[in-house]
Chain A
Amino acid sequence: MKYGLALFLLLFTLISCNKDDGGGAYTATPLNLEIPSFFEENILPPIIPEDNPMSVEGVALGKKLFFDPILSANNTQSCADCHSPQNGFSDARQFSIGITGEAGNRNSMPLQNLAWNYNGKFFWDGRAGSLENQIFEPVTNPIEMANTWPNAVASLQNSTEYPVLFDDAFGTTTIDSTMVSKAIAQFMRTLISGNSRFDQFQRGEIELSPSEANGLNVFLDESRGDCFHCHGNPLNPLWTDNIFHNNGLDEFFIDKGLSNVTGDPRDDGKFKTPSLRNLAFTAPYMHDGRFETLDEVINHYSEGLVYSETIDPLMKAVGEGGVHLSEEDKADLKAFLLSLSDPSFINNPDFQN
């Protein structure tokens, strides 16, 4: 069957090649993402842009670039410095420090299952419209890698290794920033997490502990957690809606989030819902890393909600700070949240330097 499909694809490619009449357009070795079966059965396929198909060489190049400080102005900082595998590809520091020693004002974001961000909006405030676009920012951000693209591209071009690797991936030794972004995006699309305890439970391999099972009920119960309307439910293994909400953190906003991008005051204080996968590794939490522990996060939803005009209508009993979960429900909710963490993801040898 697979053979048949391959043949068909080949045929298809041939036909398209003919149409293109491309003078020997280069094709790297196609790579299929390893999609967990539970994802395949229950949610839409990942988004792979037509102009950046996955390839073995592209991913290998992207991985090398991701871990290489060569993209930063003074050769000291790589993407991985603020997106470390051991931290679920985020940063244990509340605010990441750029090459000049200056700190930003947002917590780094975990990188996982990014190919399933159907809205295609990246960053806490959604200001990047695709993964490829997103990559342009950290390289030139003065409080991150503080480089210029001509300089970054020149460094790559002058290195002994990179021109060959770009040739393998894209069929040319003449490097440009678009190819850099495409390669890194390809690597980031391979960062798939789908083997947490909860995933194993979904596959029927293990049972949840009674505490985790009750925690799931708290998470789903409209009168207790009601977390699922934003953070997803057992049929949605992404554990985020990738949509922007104000979850009641502040009365006034130092960082306006989404409205900085849309200019719409109705978006004040809204940030992208983060996935609940791999929370065991991604502390601190929230866009500004204000909470160091999951207990603090749960206490926030339980009794720390603060009213502001744009607070999401899903937030319950805001006048009382929240629905006041029992201590047992809080502990169980935490146990459930931790069951979504996936050690095999952060230890995957394919994702290490």
Chain B
Amino acid sequence: MKKIALILMMAVAFVSCNDDDGNAPIENVTVDVNFTHNWDGDAIENADFDVIQYTNAHGETLSLSKLVYLISDVTFTNASGEVFDAGDYTLVNVREGSNLTFTPQIEIPEGTYSVSFTFGFDDEDNDQNYQDLNSADGGWNVPVILGGGYHYMRMEGKYIDASSPDETNYQYHTIRAVDLDDQGIISTLTDTSFEVNLGQVTIGNTTNIEVKMNVAEWFKNPNTWDLTQLYTMLMPNYNAQIMMSGNGANGVFSLGNVTQ
């Protein structure tokens, strides 16, 4: 196995050498995807964290303390239906400002593509073991009794509502929905990752695609999120996971600026 890897690496080294001095007619390019975050249009920066300043659709005022999420399978489909997908993933940490730019490890010919990505991991990806994700944020994986696989998002903070001035902690964690039977045995697992289609994008040799996340949308549509009811213990809450996925797929992500 290691030997094969070695040979492969050497082969790659050779190939890249060849590539470099070649005058190939079509240049293959990588694409940068840049994630930005806003609350109904107000940019979310590091300084905005831990400040109770956002009002959700249901009327609770809240802060963000943490916003980390997983994006996978950025996919480029050209006019003739040819699909380019590196099959890789990235963990975006908004507060730390890490991995805000992701360059899928695939080179594609310049041209116009329909671009999409997956929020979280689909079941196929979710069932693999990832050393880097197990090592991230204390373990990005989901314990087996909670259905296994990986977290899609950890959004956390505090909220206040009209009934009391006290701050209450919330943990809006999204994972594959899991239902347990009376014995605590997993009875249903539902893939709650979703695909986001950004539409047509023209890819040149230095293209940067902005993907915007409007965090307010997680609380808005089609499920007006009642944070006073659904603020904690959401991982084992099957219905909550389905609702979060529904909101996520509905207007949270959109295509921003494309620069060439």
The reply to whether A233 and B50 form a contact with Cβ atoms under 8 Å apart is: no
Per-residue contact bits, chain B 135-169, to A (CB 8 Å; 1 contact, 0 not): 10111010111100000001011100000001111
Q: A43-B135, A118-B135, A236-B135 are in contact. Are A313 and B170 (CB under 8 A)?
A: yes
Complex interface residues of chain A between 217 and 240 (CB less than 8 A to chain B): 217, 220-223, 228-236, 240
Per-residue contact bits, chain A 252-276, to B (CB 8 Å; 1 contact, 0 not): 0000000000000010000001000
Chain B residue at minimum C-beta to C-beta distance from A314: B171
Determine if B132 is an interface residue (Cβ-Cβ < 8 Å).
Answer: yes
Name the one of A44, A220, A307, A319 contacting B145, with C-beta atoms under 8 angstroms: A220
A44: B residues at CB distance < 8 A:
131-132, 135
Q: A229-B138, A241-B137, A243-B138 are in contact. Are A220 and B129 (CB under 8 A)?
A: no
Determine if A201 is an interface residue (Cβ-Cβ < 8 Å).
Answer: no
State how many residues of chain B have any CB contact under 8 Å with chain A: 35
B157: A residues at CB distance < 8 A:
313
Segment of B37-45, B69-77, B230-238 engaged in the interface with chain A: B230-238
Distance A227 CA – B166 CA, assembled complex (angstroms): 24
- Helix, strand, loop or mixed for chain A's interface? loop
Chain B residue at minimum C-beta to C-beta distance from A43: B135
B171: A residues at CB distance < 8 A:
222, 229, 313-314
State how many residues of chain A have any CB contact under 8 Å with chain B: 40
B interface residue numbers (CB < 8 A to A): 2-3, 6, 49-50, 65-66, 129, 131-132, 134-135, 137-139, 141, 143-146, 154, 156-158, 166-171, 232-236
10 pairs, A vs B, C-beta closer than 8 Å: A4-B3, A116-B135, A220-B145, A220-B146, A221-B145, A236-B139, A266-B49, A313-B157, A313-B158, A314-B171
Inter-chain pairs besides A229-B154, A235-B141, A240-B138, 9 sampled, C-beta below 8 Å: A41-B131, A44-B132, A222-B235, A233-B141, A233-B143, A236-B141, A243-B138, A313-B170, A316-B233
